[in-house]
Structure 1
Amino acid sequence: MRHVVSKIIVSFWLVTTVISCSALPDATVAVDNTSIINPNYIGNGVQWDPYQLDYGEKQLKISVEDWHKLYARLDFMKPQFIRVMINTTSVIENGVLNEKKNYENIAPILEYCQSRNVKVVLGDWGDRMVNSKTNTISENNLKLAAQYLDFLANKKGFSCILYYNMINEPNGYWAATDENYDLWKKAAQYFSTQLKVLNLDQKVSLMGPDIAIWKTDKVDWITNSVKDLDTSIGVYDIHTYPSKITVNSGDYTSILKAYKDAVPSGKPIVMGEIGFKFVEKQDEALMKENIARAKAKPYASVEDSQMFVYDFVYGSDMADALIQTVNSGYSGSIAWMLDDAMHSREQKNKLKVWGFWNILGDEYFGKEEEEVRPWFYAWSLLTKYMPSGCQVHKISVDGNPNIKAISISKDGRNMIAIVNVSSKEANIKLTSNGLPVLNHVKRFVYAKDKLKLEGDHTLLPVKTNITLDLKKNKIETIPAEGLLVLTNFDY
């Protein structure tokens, strides 16, 4: 009897094993490396503005040690593309440019970018560059903004500044232009003439129209910019703060493509700012939770904070948004934003909590705020391993809408990234008919309780020296709300 029972148990084990091994994966990810979506990707990065430093209750400064910490953390990320915004009027005194004023605040940012060959967008928020009530531009302030750019790019030698962003989000009621396209156009055209006067037009081009969009109803800002300013615009850009449901459902892709399709062939379009806001009804519970968290945080702006930056899910959501942006043909993305200490909202000590950290945590805002937040690692992987000049391959995903993926290559090196935004682990079949065998591949996993960390900010691969042959249909497991990165870039 015991022998019969044993045979039954063995037979049952064999049957279940066969069923398990032959079970269909949750999705198939197929890389077509012979089809190129984008032949020359600019890169990804982050918004890094001069720090506020005046927090009402206290005046602070960034210590030498904190600058070193910032540089080290960014060196892990390897940003390729950074946006730096200022109010030029803060360095204008009695109608005259004071180039030295506040220089110590912007210099360390530009010095980092110059030393690491980071492409920089410098820009002006728009304060007093235009007057929306009188529908006029300030020629003097625009002229001085061009002179300040000349000071930085030529006199100080910051050749890393390749683009200039004239007026932030000019289509917004909150902008200096108050939604007036013609007023923004006049300012951009006048500034462009000043670049020519200073012989800067061969070094720096405009990036625009820099509009904030949620749906496809602002495409006319792109088409009008093409008609009126295309010879001056080097890179087109939009800002998006989509709702979680919009991105995770995949609806985000159709919105992105509407703007991409309006850009002339051969001209790139990038995401000048990207972050999440819970604007759709399906995300109402998340919005309420976000507000409650901000109210409970002593230094958080209730009106303008993204409190889920403390959660792992924000990293997978940002990866989802970036992957859809890349596959829609965009040439770069800049995350909003690097550091909480850069900006406040309601009052000087109510910060816009959106960053990877708050570098002044030890000094004032709470020691724990200076620690690296999870989404830094997800964004870093998709920045570090998407070097400037890489090619983006066509990739298809079948079987599970929660799975998104990208594939890129440069100089014989490759990176494949796959995100799973569902609340369940997913098994995917990873395949390609044309991708060569990849040697010395590293496997990185981003998900809660899955990070392999070292020191202050370094994410280590969970496995190294892998040989990846996608002709053999490799099965990979992606954790819930997780990101998998496979790469043989040797850094």
Structure 2
Amino acid sequence: MKRFAILSVFFLWGGYAASQTVVSVDAKQIINEGYIGNGAQWDPYQLDYGKGRLDISEADWKKMYDRLDFMRPQFIRVMTNTTSVMQDGVLYPERGLEHLSHILDYCQSRDVTVMFGDWGGGMVDVRKEVIREKNLSAAAEYVRFLIEEKGYSCIKYYNLVNEPNGYWSSTDGKYSLWARAICFFYGELQKNKLAGKLSVVGPDAAIWTADEAWWVDSCATHLKDEIGLYDIHTYPSKITVNSGEYTDIIRAYKQAVPAGRKIVMGEIGFKFVEPADSVYQRENLRRAAAKPYASMDDSQMFVYDFMYGTDMADALFQTVNAGYSGSVVWMLDDAMHAKEAPDKLKVWGFWNIFGEEYFGTEEEEVRPWFYAWSLLTRYMPAGSRAYKVEVEGDKSLKAIAVEKDGKYMIAVVNVSREEKSVLLKSTSLPVLKGVKQYLYAEGRLQKEGDCRLLPHRQGVTLCPAKGEAFQMPGESLVVYTNFDY
């Protein structure tokens, strides 16, 4: 674990003295240029939950579109199985398109960058350790069809085989098998004249420590032409992130990326895997057991708690400050995936769009962490740059500062349960006028309608050179921004 210096500054606020944490922004030091964006995993839905097929109504598609319009995602990951649109070895690319098109139409119309891909089933034969060239060719043809014939130019990246380093993956952790599939697939993209339009993503490894960084090293050595964007998946424990140890882990992967290439977080969520988080894990399992449609094996039941929003902000801030260029949360909607049985869902989402129809009306409501993630997606647009931020004081506070076209977003998160006093300062930021201040904290949200979060304060003039002092409730996120939307 990292050790943090404590700056013991005391000041009078509201009639009492409190220890103050100083957040300093250095706008002369850019640590992250050309940010791709933040967003969520949004896959085609399962639709059959054991009692016949359901269909998403136009009203529910509109509801999701409206919610996403508040979030303004910049980066969406969409995964499918090419073999599901094949029959007897023949590709039928129109199959299921009436469903997939709702997702891609949204991304195309809102200029959202899409990381499309295949989960990996059928792409390799792991027992014989051979690649399945016919299916790989079909995958390349399928994405060509979507881009060239259907006009989905929003698809910029392709993710072949989910988490290939895992025993649960179709490659069973075999790097050489996965690398051969990547090489063949890249060749098929070249044949389809897509190599200049579509970049392959890798290694897409799921990691918990720095030990798997050799996958990135190997890609940089053996697949330097094929891999256009690097990515990893992380499901850290709460203690790993809140302590700051997470930064050291993910930085090992960033440092292995070749110069001139970017790395993103292709999936991110929390799992309580460390002994220090055993109390949370027991509660997680208790809640899953109590909910009829929750998978006991793969659910994050704290998505109903405000804590999950601040923990996700903490993880994102460390990811941004470590030099990553985007983050995709797992996941948008519970209704997308089941685990042990058709009606045992992976509960990880911002909502369940079939709540009213099937799973319980309350499940369709927006969950708290949607608002925290939305602020950090909405006000971190594609093309942003991130500045260096130092936090001197309480280690439970983290911060980021981003800018695009002269507009700024400065965000601070408090993952402790206690109120904290913060001083935001900078000698290199200009005076910011017309600033909105958002506050994400339990019992403090100011909402409008189904999904819109309203500013806590508006028309604020921020004078960083003089310093801006403010209080942060326990488990809260404060966002200052002068983006004019």
- TM-score, normalization: structure 2? 0.97
Listed as ranges, the matches of 1:102-181 within 5 Å are 102-181=96-175
Corresponding residue number in structure 1 for 2:209:
215
How far off is 1:20 after superposition?
Answer: 7.3
Corresponding residue number in structure 2 for 1:443:
437
Structure 1 residue aligned with 2:65, among 71, 80, 86?
71
- 1:207 and 1:23 map into 2 onto residues whose CA distance is 51
1:326 aligns with 2:320: yes
The letter of the residue matching 2:355 is G
- What is the DSSP-based 3-state SS (H/G/I as helix, E as strand, rest coil) of the residue aligned with 1:315? helix
- What is the DSSP-based 3-state SS (H/G/I as helix, E as strand, rest coil) of the residue aligned with 2:284? helix
**Structure of larger gyration radius:** 1
Corresponding residue number in structure 2 for 1:364:
358
- 1:158 and 1:50 map into 2 onto residues whose CA distance is 16
Counterparts in 2 of 1:429 and 1:138: CA distance versus 1, 3 Å: same
1:266 aligns with 2:260: yes
Corresponding residue number in structure 2 for 1:472:
466
Corresponding residue number in structure 2 for 1:387:
381
Corresponding residue number in structure 1 for 2:36:
42
- How many equivalent residue pairs? 476
- 2:202 and 2:484 map into 1 onto residues whose CA distance is 35
Counterparts in 2 of 1:433 and 1:196: CA distance versus 1, 3 Å: same
How far off is 1:362 after superposition?
Answer: 0.6
Identity within the alignment, %: 58
1:486 aligns with 2:480: yes
Structure 2 residue aligned with 1:418, among 391, 412, 421?
412
How far off is 1:22 after superposition?
Answer: 9.2
Gaps of 5+ in 1: 1-15
Counterparts in 2 of 1:247 and 1:19: CA distance versus 1, 3 Å: closer
The letter of the residue matching 2:468 is K
Greater Cα shift, 374-383 or 53-62: 53-62
Corresponding residue number in structure 2 for 1:277:
271
Counterparts in 2 of 1:18 and 1:304: CA distance versus 1, 3 Å: closer
How far off is 1:25 after superposition?
Answer: 3.9
How far off is 1:233 after superposition?
Answer: 1.4
Q: Which runs of 4+ in 1 moved over 3 A?
A: 16-25
How far off is 1:58 after superposition?
Answer: 3.1
How far off is 1:476 after superposition?
Answer: 1.3
Corresponding residue number in structure 1 for 2:329:
335
How far off is 1:30 after superposition?
Answer: 0.2
Q: What is the Cα-based RMSD across aligned positions, in Å?
A: 1.3
Counterparts in 2 of 1:227 and 1:17: CA distance versus 1, 3 Å: closer
Say whether the 8 Å CA contact 1:25–1:429 is kept in structure 2. no
- 1:64 and 1:339 map into 2 onto residues whose CA distance is 16
Structure 2 residue aligned with 1:346, among 340, 345, 350?
340
Q: Deviations over 1:429-457 (max 9, x none)?
A: 11000100000000000010010000000
- 2:248 and 2:469 map into 1 onto residues whose CA distance is 29
- 1:19 and 1:150 map into 2 onto residues whose CA distance is 60
- TM-score, normalization: structure 1? 0.96
- What is the DSSP-based 3-state SS (H/G/I as helix, E as strand, rest coil) of the residue aligned with 2:382? coil
Corresponding residue number in structure 2 for 1:4:
none
Gaps of 5+ in 2: 1-9
Corresponding residue number in structure 2 for 1:182:
176
- 1:459 and 1:93 map into 2 onto residues whose CA distance is 46
- 1:157 and 1:371 map into 2 onto residues whose CA distance is 33
How far off is 1:119 after superposition?
Answer: 0.4
Say whether the 8 Å CA contact 2:408–2:481 is kept in structure 1. yes
- What is the DSSP-based 3-state SS (H/G/I as helix, E as strand, rest coil) of the residue aligned with 2:278? helix
How far off is 1:26 after superposition?
Answer: 2.7
Counterparts in 2 of 1:18 and 1:82: CA distance versus 1, 3 Å: closer
Corresponding residue number in structure 1 for 2:229:
235
- 1:63 and 1:54 map into 2 onto residues whose CA distance is 15
- 1:326 and 1:50 map into 2 onto residues whose CA distance is 28
- What is the DSSP-based 3-state SS (H/G/I as helix, E as strand, rest coil) of the residue aligned with 2:433? strand
How far off is 1:232 after superposition?
Answer: 1.8
Q: Deviations over 1:74-119 (max 9, x none)?
A: 0000000000000100001000001111111110100000000000
Corresponding residue number in structure 2 for 1:93:
87
Say whether the 8 Å CA contact 2:11–2:19 is kept in structure 1. no
How far off is 1:262 after superposition?
Answer: 0.3
